[in-house]
Structure 1
Amino acid sequence: MYGRHPTAVKVAEAAQTNTSKTYFGSVFVMDDPLTILPDIRSKRIGYAQGMTASASQTELGLLMILHFVFTEGEYNGSTISILGRNLVFSDIREMPVVGGSGAFRFARGFAEGKTHSLDVKTGNAVLEYNVFVLHP
């Protein structure tokens, strides 16, 4: 989120966001590298693009709209779409797969997300998603 070329940026916030323990009302957009392994030096296979909104006043819970956009390999040109609640401090967060395009057209399933590393000072994080989809 910080540095010379951030891949996630805040685009909106509510008047009370800065005094909220959960950042309630903040909205971010992202265009993060999608890699095979949870390591920025791992082979890039696409992008994780989408947005999050802090939607809870009592816990750090995000409304997450996320698209995995594949630009390499057998899924080049395909996408997987995820829409769900992401409780940031849960060990594993389950979110529904609500569709996709190309090889994942009409896909249904779920994604399990977990934080691989997090720098609380900068907000920079490496997240791992394991996606399980059923094709129609």
Structure 2
Amino acid sequence: METFTVFALLLVILSVTTPAVKGKYYSGSHIVDVPTTIKQTHLHFFLHDTLSGDNPSAVLITKPNSKVIKENNPIIPFGSIFAFDDPLTVGSDPKSKVIGTARGLYASISRGSDLTLLFTGDLEFTSGEFNGSAIIVSCRDPMVLVKEMAVVGGRGKFKMAKGFVKNTAVYFNTTNGDAILEWHVTVFHP
């Protein structure tokens, strides 16, 4: 009985003297030096998305089952996911000067007749003033000739960028899905 009493007393003492472990989900807030001026930069280039041929710049990763394809037979059926590594050029001609690459994913997210993609891409510039910098675009992409998309971030000179894209299809092949898109981008960045 005496051993039990000593053990119980020891247990009570340890539980009272052991500090409680407190975890937190943040590291605290502090003041940061944010630039007081914001730059506005306009970019203009062309994106070449090629699904056809021996050297496509976009490839199918997964597609829905055959039942979905038979019921709704667009170029990109609902549920299809593609990876892309598209060239960015100064002109609409695929042989014009390459100034960067667009890399990312797009997925068909509409079950209806309004073909809509979810576009997420990192557009990195490989020449000129913005060499090594990138804008990040992530947005719903309705398959219409003219659309607006969101710039949600960036890297390099476009770190912490926000902005928008006016995107126009200058070429779209309804049979194989190949497209050339003209991008007018307005970026706000430090």
Q: Which residue of 2 aligns with 1:18?
A: 69
**1: distance between equivalents of 2:56 and 2:178?**
9
**2: distance between equivalents of 1:102 and 1:93?**
26
The amino acid across from 1:18 in the alignment is: I
Structure 1 portions without partners, runs of 5+: none
**2: distance between equivalents of 1:17 and 1:103?**
44
Bigger Rg, structure 1 or 2:
2
What's the offset of the Cα at 1:83? 0.4
Identity of aligned residues (%): 40
Q: Which residue of 2 aligns with 1:68?
A: 123
Q: Secondary structure of the residue that 1:11 maps to in structure 2?
A: strand
Deviations 1:73-92 (A, max 9, x none): 1111111000001111x231
TM-score, normalising length: structure 2? 0.68
> Equivalent of 2:187, from 113, 127, 133?
133
Q: Secondary structure of the residue that 2:92 maps to in structure 1?
A: coil
Q: Secondary structure of the residue that 1:103 maps to in structure 2?
A: helix
Q: Secondary structure of the residue that 2:118 maps to in structure 1?
A: strand
> Equivalent of 1:9, from 38, 42, 59?
59
Which structure exhibits the higher relative contact order, with contacts defined as CA atoms closer than 8 Å and separated by 6 or more residues?
2
Task: Check if 1:42 corresponds to 2:96.
Answer: yes
Deviations 1:42-98 (A, max 9, x none): 11001111111000111100000011111111111111000001111x231111100
**2: distance between equivalents of 1:31 and 1:24?**
21
Deviations 1:74-132 (A, max 9, x none): 111111000001111x2311111000000100000101111110122222111111111
Question: Is the Cα–Cα contact under 8 Å of residues 99 and 105 in structure 1 kept in the other structure?
Answer: yes
The amino acid across from 2:189 in the alignment is: H
TM-score, normalising length: structure 1? 0.93
Write 1 or 2 for the structure with the bigger share of strand: 1
Structure 2 portions without partners, runs of 5+: 1-50
